[in-house]
Amino acid sequence: MCDTHDTTPHKGIEHDGHDQEHTSWSRRSFLQALGIAGSGSMMMGSNFLSASAPSPLTAAIANAETDKILILIRLSGGNDGLSTVIPIEQYDTYANARPNIYIPESKVLKLTDEFGVPSYMKALQPMWNEGQFKAVHGVGYEGQSLSHFTGSDIFANTDLETTGFSGLNTGWMGRYFENTYSDYLINPPASPAAIQVGQFGNLVFQGDETNYAFVTSNIDQLAEIADSGLVYGLDDNLFDNCMYGDQLKFLRGVANTTYEYSEVIHAAHENGKNDIEYQDNNIAKQLALLARLIKGNLGTKVYMISLGGFDTHGNQPLRHERLMTDLSIAIDNFYDDLAVAEQDDKVLSMTFSEFGRRVFENGSNGTDHGKAAPTLFFGSGLNGSAFVGEHPTLEGQDNLDYTTDFRDLYATVLAEWLCVDIPLVEQHIYLDQKRYNPINLGFNCSGFDFPDIAYSDGEATVPNTSEPEEPTPYEPSLLDSIVHRPFYPIDENPHIYLEMPFSAHVDIKLFNILGQQVGTVYNEMMLEGSVEINIRERMPQHLSAGKYIYRINVQNKKMAKSVMVG
């Protein structure tokens, strides 16, 4: 049993609660990483196999047509907002709270009369001047946990009731993809729905049945896959001194064969190229590879990368300067690179972090866990640079109150950038039945009537003045009311529980985890009501113990889940 960790923040660099929390987070990340990366990755016995080898595309990325791409950039550790966006009008209060670590006025790059950024982020000034940089103030949520583990989960699952190790185990993008690809386990899309570098423990792309992202542990592993088309190297020399070398080589070969997304990524990598020279650091490598895959027309619409090191309890000035300098230069290079291929207008990037940091410095030239922090957006799709929203007051505060609900930013990105229908956005993002409350970020797909906002030239502007097409409203049908789940009686003989809101012909087929059809479980008319279907009794041949996938087909709706056969 794991002890419940203390999420109470502590002052200083080292403390038991802080170290224990990192240990707990690492433990879950390690367990999740055991099956090596990947969308639809599963374990059968101790062997890794995958049911996510691509087949012909059977569903669009979304009901709405869009070729836009989203880049999620996680600033891991809790980014200090007051070292990222400096409130010039509250400068004296800011400097007095941080006598040893404040950024001098001479090193503040003033972007408006009210706000600036540190001069070490000056690589972003051309993007600001070109209308490609927005910062949203005070992003957070009610009852901020101040915990790395819980905060990361809440920003991923949007479940404000998450505490400690309890909370919803699906992410906002995972729920979106699950709705889009109801038949994903059998017929995944031709290209990865999402690509994630690092952060195995993160829930962003996790659905009920699978993780919808192609996940690699680091950028070097993704680069190797892109370059070679293999998940694992099979050089014989690697296995010469290994006790189980033949078996290991076989398992690696199976993984390479069944995990065919690596070939799709390799093809895009070969088709694309970088036209800008990037720096030699981690975030630059990640963005350079993403630019090449995007320019190579991979077809993936959501990417998540990560920049670590923001848990700045000590020595914050030097650490934050290095991190944000690297990020700023890499972002500027990334969009210059995309612009060569005229693809910069379809790529939106946004940062996020599990929390902000305190107003007052601590005794170690750093800051401790706090609440709100700004979210940064990049891309020409923003149609103007601006600081958006209300900046929290610093007066009399050691912990900034949030002024922007992070879920509203997620909802805006889904509805106005990726063009997801608003009822579905509300379903995926607002688990407490909150209504759609978008932030005007400069793009508009739904036709929502945004108020004017002041842009960097000081004039009130409404972006995207062309009339958007009227969105098709999402109307739940009786098909959406079908309930199904694996049901395990006491004798462990596997059943499928199915609840039908109407009478219809039902076809249920069983697949192994390689996606090969094993047989038909049910194929007949079913009356309205509920039924328990015994899988073993309905299958003509003997089933070996292990994990299977059943797919239910009713009219034009396909639904799939995994089930264990004992």
| Cα 471 to chain centroid, rounded | 25
CATH class for domain 478-565?
Answer: mainly beta
Residue ranges covered by each domain of the chain: 36-461, 478-565
pLDDT by position in tens, the chain (length 566) = 343 333 343 344 444 456 555 554 444 444 343 333 344 333 222 223 233 333 222 232 333 357 899 999 999 999 999 999 999 999 999 999 999 999 999 999 999 999 999 999 999 999 999 999 999 999 999 998 888 888 888 888 898 888 866 778 888 898 888 888 877 777 778 888 889 898 666 788 888 877 888 888 889 888 988 988 775 555 555 545 555 455 555 555 444 444 568 888 999 999 999 999 999 999 999 999 999 999 999 999 999 999 999 999 999 999 999 999 999 999 999 999 999 999 999 999 999 999 999 999 999 999 999 999 999 999 999 999 999 999 999 999 999 999 999 999 999 999 999 999 899 899 889 988 889 999 999 999 988 888 665 444 434 333 343 444 444 444 556 777 788 877 765 456 788 888 888 899 999 988 876 667 888 999 999 998 888 998 888 887 778 777 788 888 898 788 877 787 77
Residue 194 CA to residue 203 CA, distance in Å, equals 13
Phi/psi zone of residue 515: left (φ > 0), alpha (ψ -120 to 50 degrees), beta?
left
Interatomic CA distance for residues 145 and 355, integer angstroms: 8
* Tokens encoding 262: 């690596």
- What's the chain's length in residues? 566
Tokens of 25: 């987070």
Residues 6+ apart with CB under 8 A from 515: 51, 53, 55, 185, 186, 549
Distance between CA atoms of residues 376 and 304, nearest Å: 15
The CATH architecture annotation of domain 36-461 reads 3-Layer(aba) Sandwich (3.40)
